[in-house]
Chain A
Amino acid sequence: MPRAFSFIIQRELRLALRRKGDVLNVLVFFIVVASLFPLGVGPEPNQLRAMAAGVTWIAALLAAVLSLPRLFAADYADGTLEQMLVAPQPLIVVVLAKAAAHWLLTGVPLALAAPVIGLQYDLPTDALGVLLASLLIGTPVLSLLGAAGAALTLGVRGGGALLGLLVLPLFVPVLVFGAGAVTSTLIGINPAAHLSLLGAFLAVSSLIGPWAACAALRVALD
């Protein structure tokens, strides 16, 4: 089972490396969205500082939703997913490996790019670190719950917009605690409570997300 897990991750990473555009586009989208906000609301530094965490997090949510339809689509189209379903390894290993690969390919780059956006918004250094930490803890949730959304909308008409409608409301706690951690740092409160709650939500989603994704994949491939 650990072998199957690491094999699928390696396969996903190799496939992504051969089509770098897919990964880079999501990252560029994230940076573009975050850079548009000051143009819309004005360059006032105090206002931007107060908005920074929320804007970065919402841009991250949108970027994740944008990348999620591809999670299972290619394997579904060419029949690989069906083979994974009938393989002796439990389906949940496949789902977990795919979610992990998705996090490595989108969550981690987004988190690493976030401090740069924080600088654009004039965040102090300690808040930059918290922003990075909150994204590193929070983005796996997007991959785990997002996997369920991607599996539910597999091969469905208008999948992309529908996927957003399904998963964005479920991301509310991540947004609240992720952005809350940074905002509380700005007003001098220890962000540990927010980050712990974010971790707790990660634990809950790692139970619900893969289960729902497995069930949804079985339904889709029935």
Chain B
Amino acid sequence: MTSDLFRFAAPQAFFPLAGKLIPWFSVLAGVLTLAGLYVAFFVAPTDHQQGEAYRIIFIHVPAAWMSMFLYVVMAGWAGLGLALNTRLSGMMASAIAPTGAMFTFLALWSGALWGRPTWGAYWVWDARLTSELVLLFLYLGFIALKSAIEDPTRADRAGAILALVGVVNVPIIYYSVQWWNTLHQGASVSLTRAPSMASTMLAGMLLMALAAWMYSIATTLCRVRSIILERERDAEWVRMTKERAAA
């Protein structure tokens, strides 16, 4: 069983597996998004404090969750690649980074759109906003470092070291920013909403979070397939695949 699983650590074996998995995750992502959006717009009630503006949470909260989760997953793959010297791990880390950065940006952007009607400002120096922004910088640094190094093996290892240093620092940055915020008296508004949330709101949010998860897996697999093809373009099996695809 385990030896069967480890077989997929080889890019050659993983490539067709990823190809088979992508349609499943894409369909799941599509179905869950539709269900989530239906609940979000037609089932969930209007919030008595924030009106309709609160509905941004159905995209904002899943995006924020994924942005943090994907960084940890990326660092996990990177660390695995560094420890076991597997080629696929570095490719996975590279494939996750753009999706993570996209979700971080989405969380910031949707937060700004929500902040304007609710707080009266697109941006406040709230601890969570600030640390999310720093997280975006960490993603951008990882992507920039990888793209600046020509040799893929060196790029993978250097990126892995950076991701590991980053993942240790993320909680420290979060708490330091939080403390900085309380020291500066913060904004008078806080992110804490009404304590109880209608269960349909929660259901919509969880559906959207699952959809975001499936979407991340599908895009990561898509991207990793391209990376595999690009890096292994001189390998015999890639040529065989291309010939088969052409035939």
Residues of chain A whose beta carbon lies under 8 Å from any beta carbon of chain B: 145, 148, 152-153, 156-159, 162, 165-166, 168-170, 172-173, 176-177, 180, 183-184, 197, 201, 204, 208, 212, 215-216, 219-220, 222
Contacts and interface: CB of A to CB of B under 8 A. Distances in A.
Given A152-B158, A180-B183, A212-B165, 9 more contacts: A153-B148, A158-B148, A165-B144, A166-B144, A172-B134, A172-B173, A208-B168, A212-B164, A215-B161
9 contacts: A153-B145, A156-B148, A165-B144, A173-B173, A176-B177, A176-B179, A208-B165, A212-B164, A215-B82
A173 B176 contact: yes
Contacts of B172: 173, 201, 204
Nearest to B154: A219
A165 B188 CA distance: 31
B56 to A, nearest CB: 26
Give the 5 A-B residue pairs with the shortest CB-CB distance, closest first.
A173-B176, A169-B137, A176-B180, A219-B157, A176-B176
Contact of A169 (B82, B138, B153, B183): B138
A180 B140 contact: no
Given A165-B137, A165-B140, A177-B176, A170 B148 contact: no
A116 to B, nearest CB: 26
B240 to A, nearest CB: 31
A215 B176 CA distance: 27
Interface string B159-188: 001101110110011001101100100000
A204 B176 CA distance: 14
Contact of B154 (A145, A165, A173, A222): A222
Interface string B128-164: 0000001001101100110011000110011001101
A50 to B, nearest CB: 11
Given A148-B165, A169-B137, A219-B157, A162 B145 contact: yes
A172 B22 CA distance: 39
Contacts of B164: 212
Instruction: Pick the most buried of A168, A176, A222: most chain B CB atoms within 10 A of its CB.
Output: A176
A216 B161 contact: yes
A149 B145 CA distance: 10
Q: Chain A interface secondary structure, helix, strand, loop or mixed? A: helix
Nearest to A168: B137
Contacts of B141: 162, 165-166, 169
Interface residues of B, number: 28
Contacts of B145: 152-153, 156, 162, 166
Nearest to B179: A176
Contacts of A197: 176, 179
A208 B183 CA distance: 27
A161 to B, nearest CB: 9
B180 A220 contact: no
A93 B168 CA distance: 23
A166 B162 contact: yes
Nearest to B175: A173
A71 B168 CA distance: 24
Contacts of B166: 170
Given A172-B173, A176-B176, A176-B177, A220 B134 contact: no
B137 A216 contact: no
A184 B165 contact: no
Given A152-B145, A165-B140, A208-B168, A216 B180 contact: no
A220 B154 contact: yes
Contact of A172 (B153, B157, B158, B176): B176
Interface in B178-203: 179-180, 183
Nearest to B133: A169
Contacts of A169: 134, 137-138, 141, 173
